[in-house]
Amino acid sequence: MNPTATKNFNTSEIDASCRVPLLALFGGAALWLVVGLALSLAAIMTFHKPDMFADCPLLTYGRVQAAANNALLYGFCIPAGLGVMLWIFARLSQSELALPLVPVVAANIWHPGVLVGVVAILLGDSTGFAWLEFSRGSSVLLFAAFLLIAISAVATFGQRQNRELYPSHWFLLAALLWFPWIYSTANLFLVAWPVRGVAQVAIDSWFANNLVFVWLALVGLGTAFYFLPKLTGQPLQTYYLALFSFWTLTLFGTWMGIAASAPLPAWMSAASSAAAALTFVPVLAVAVIAVKTVRGSDVSCKGGSLCYVKFGTAAFVLSALMLIAEACPQISRVTAFTWFGPAQVQLQILGFFTIVMCGAIYELLPRVMGFGLPFPKFVRLQHWLFMLGIVLWAGSLAVGGVAQGMKLGNPQTAFADSTGVALIFLRVGTTGLLFLLLGSLLFAANIFVMTLKWKLALLKSLLAAVKAPLKTAEVKS
Amino acid sequence: MKNGFGIFLAAFIALGVSWCGFVLAPVLQLGTAQQASVLNSSDIYPLQRTGDATLGLQVYRANGCAACHTEQVRQDGVACEVVLTSTGKTPVVVSNLVSTLKLTGLTKNEADAASDKITAAGGSVETRIVPVGRDISRGWGLRQTVATDFLYDYPVQVGSLRAGPDLANIAVRAPDANWQLVHLYAPQALVKNSAMPPFRFLFEVRKIGDAPSPDALQFPKDFAPPAGCEIMPTPEAKQLAAYLLSLRADVPLYDAPFTP
């Protein structure tokens, strides 16, 4: 049950087999994290000075906001998650990565695909559907790249020495099934052969919830359930609770996402609200697993990977509770149409998923590369920047959202008052975004310098091989 | 558990069930929707938007307007109100009676009781259906938004955040094309403290030729462009304004009845 058992095998070979694919995935991801946060910052500037980008269509709020969200989700979250997944599969299978060239090719399709999509959004060519804004060409590239990585992941999974499945296996395997299904459904029904009228709203809501809540939860929790036991040196508490949280999450979590206000048949938002209430069960189970696994361990995290994973798991519980609260009719009377919704999404993407992934990458990358991080002190610094940043950013959006909702719900209050009160919180939140951007720069610095070091070493050994004096036997006389 | 296939199958079923619920069912239930008839009228609703307005929806999409604006009016319920249409032959009796009765914010039964009393006294009345709700009190619409309102739209832009006001009935509130265009060019000129970014890139500043163009924007005094210049809307700006002027959901439908 305990993943640390794999240490008896020759892990350095397993790790080395992941090197090139993981660098290809993480390098682009680190870049997109910086770009996405920079775009978020550009978007929020409109709330400081409305006419800042009045003459620049590329940076108008509606475009740059969508570009930022997509860069973070498709640019950072998914490739980082897939890279970590490949490594976990190789480790759990106690075998080298299968078809290592395939994910390298896939990464080189994925990241340019994201670039095409982000540029298209900025040029005004978004599809207009939330979380599916990428244009058609870019979607095809992403879909193909995902399938390629899935092939390598499943092949690695198939090679496993020990037939027993770990809890991380269930979550990560399900994520491999989820994305192609929801992404193809959304693209076929909304972009390729669009359905009529508000059925578009239902399908887009279903897709967005299954991607931003369920997919990120599957990969993030699958990773956390691997690293929490590994880093604390204690077994996961417990196997059956993890199994229970997996089934309840996939059964109930998939039905959330339809807002009560949406102009859809009432049964849909009613089903969504009921599912949200039931999703409380897996969220509680995740909290219990995390607390029980970590408790009693004498390992102190000191701003290292364990701190990241612990904070990220706590952020998941909070973000899921916010999502459940939003689906409750009494609460949604206040929070609907306010900044509370974006606050939950930012907490899910940045507070939960990004932090878990950064922690995992900091833990696994030195093993994969065979040498230490170039700036080990950045890890602790980034952890503080991210924690502070996410609390300020998501926190002020959430509080601002509630304040806005109170005013919005009272018809005697002028509408401008509701936006005015939110504006103050948005401006405070901007500092949080700055901290996050700074943290992401530290992360990118570590990844890029590491890649550079490895490439230089590669070049050196190549040069040495070329310069080496030929053996007499090879010299033709 | 040793079987990867078992996990796959169970996850397949879990996602498949929700797919049937939130993808297949809405396609079957809503995907074949047709125009609806307007209550107490021979009209049908909605009509296809004009060509410019249809193109304007694409400008609305391209610039991500839905990031800040919703197009959905919430309704908390329906109330009845009784309106006296004639005092009949005994005006004093009827008006005395009316002054003692509560005639607004009634349930159906209360409204029936009140109208019975007034009719018995010789007056004649009309019972009206009035939607109630926070958005409706704000004047953002006469009734809630329903599926039919979006029948011809692609992509449907319902929005989820109100950093700006709801636009489901913006054409009812601001039916003037020049107002819409000036507001797009300089929102703060018309709405004090507006947080909306100006969309100056949808307009062109040019020197006035022989005569001012009839298409040029008409500004309030303090915001007029420099002398000798005029602000011309680009085709995109005109299309966007046409789309905004097509946003009116103000007819009673079977799903959302009210007395006009």
pLDDT, one tens digit per residue, over B169-223 is: 999 999 999 999 999 999 999 998 899 999 999 999 999 988 989 999 999 888 8
Is A94's Cβ below 8 Å from some Cβ in B?
no
DSSP state of A257: -
**pLDDT for B136 beyond 90:** yes
Q: Which residues of A touch B31 (CB under 8 A)?
A: 195-197, 199
Phi-psi region of A124 (alpha: psi -120 to 50; beta: other; left: phi over 0): left
pLDDT for A238: 86
Distance CA A275, CA B168 (A): 29
Chain B residues 152-171 within an 8 A CB cutoff of chain A: 152-165
Query: Is the bond preceding residue B85 a cis peptide, omega within 30 degrees?
Result: no
Q: Where are the alpha helices (DSSP H) in A132-265?
A: 136-158, 167-186, 199-208, 216-232, 239-252
Chain A residues 176-195 within an 8 A CB cutoff of chain B: 177-178, 181-182, 185, 189-190, 194-195
Q: Which two tokens stand for residue A239?
A: 């196997």
Q: Where are the alpha helices (DSSP H) in B46-87?
A: 51-62
pLDDT for A474: 62
Across the range B76-92, mean pLDDT stands at 89
Is A281's Cβ below 8 Å from some Cβ in B?
no
What residues pair up with B205 in beta bridges, in sequence order?
A: B231
What residues pair up with B204 in beta bridges, in sequence order?
A: B232
Distance CA A256, CA A213 (A): 9
pLDDT for B225: 86
Q: Which two tokens stand for residue A388?
A: 């502070």
- Average pLDDT across chain B, whole number: 92
Q: Which residues of B touch A130 (CB under 8 A)?
A: 160
Least confident of A14-18, A84-88, A381-385: A14-18
Residue of A127, A342, A419 lying closest to B195 (CB–CB): A419
**pLDDT for A282 beyond 60:** yes
Closest residue on chain B to A268 (Cα) = B22
Query: Is the bond preceding residue B46 a cis peptide, omega within 30 degrees?
Result: yes
Which amino acid type is present at position A190? L
Across the range B157-171, mean pLDDT stands at 96
pTM of the model: 0.94
3-state secondary structure at position A251: helix
Reference B60, options B179, B184, B177, B144; nearest CA is B184
3-state secondary structure at position A450: helix
**pLDDT for B227 beyond 90:** no
Q: State how far Cα B105 lies from the chain centre.
A: 23
pLDDT-derived band at A9 (thresholds 50, 70, 90) equals: low
Q: Nearest C-alpha of chain A: how many angstroms from B153?
A: 6
**pLDDT for B148 beyond 80:** yes
Question: CB neighbours of A306 closer than 8 A, spacing ≥ 6?
Answer: A227, A228, A231, A232, A299, A359
- CB A357 within 8 Å of CB A81: yes
Q: Which two tokens stand for residue A49?
A: 């000075």
- CB A60 within 8 Å of CB B201: yes
Distance CA A140, CA A110 (A): 10
pLDDT for A300: 81
Query: Is the bond preceding residue A57 a cis peptide, omega within 30 degrees?
Result: no
Q: Which two tokens stand for residue B143?
A: 């009734």
pLDDT for A1: 41
**pLDDT for B24 beyond 90:** yes
Phi-psi region of B122 (alpha: psi -120 to 50; beta: other; left: phi over 0): left
- For the four alpha carbons of A304, A309, A310 and A316, in that order, the dihedral sign comes to positive
**pLDDT for A7 beyond 70:** no
In tens, the pLDDT along B31-50 reads: 888 999 999 899 999 999 99
In tens, the pLDDT along A428-440 reads: 999 999 999 999 9
Distance CA B149, CA A107 (A): 43
pLDDT for A2: 45
**pLDDT for B6 beyond 90:** no
**pLDDT for A4 beyond 60:** no
**pLDDT for A22 beyond 80:** yes
Q: Where are the alpha helices (DSSP H) in chain B?
A: 4-19, 25-30, 51-62, 91-100, 108-120, 134-137, 170-173, 177-185, 187-190, 235-244
Across the range B53-59, mean pLDDT stands at 97
Tell me the C-alpha to C-alpha distance, in Å, between residue A147 and each of A102, A152, A153, A160, A175: 10, 9, 10, 20, 12
pLDDT for A6: 43
Largest CA distance in chain A: 100
Q: Nearest C-alpha of chain B: how many angstroms from A181?
A: 9
pLDDT for B226: 85
**pLDDT for A5 beyond 50:** no
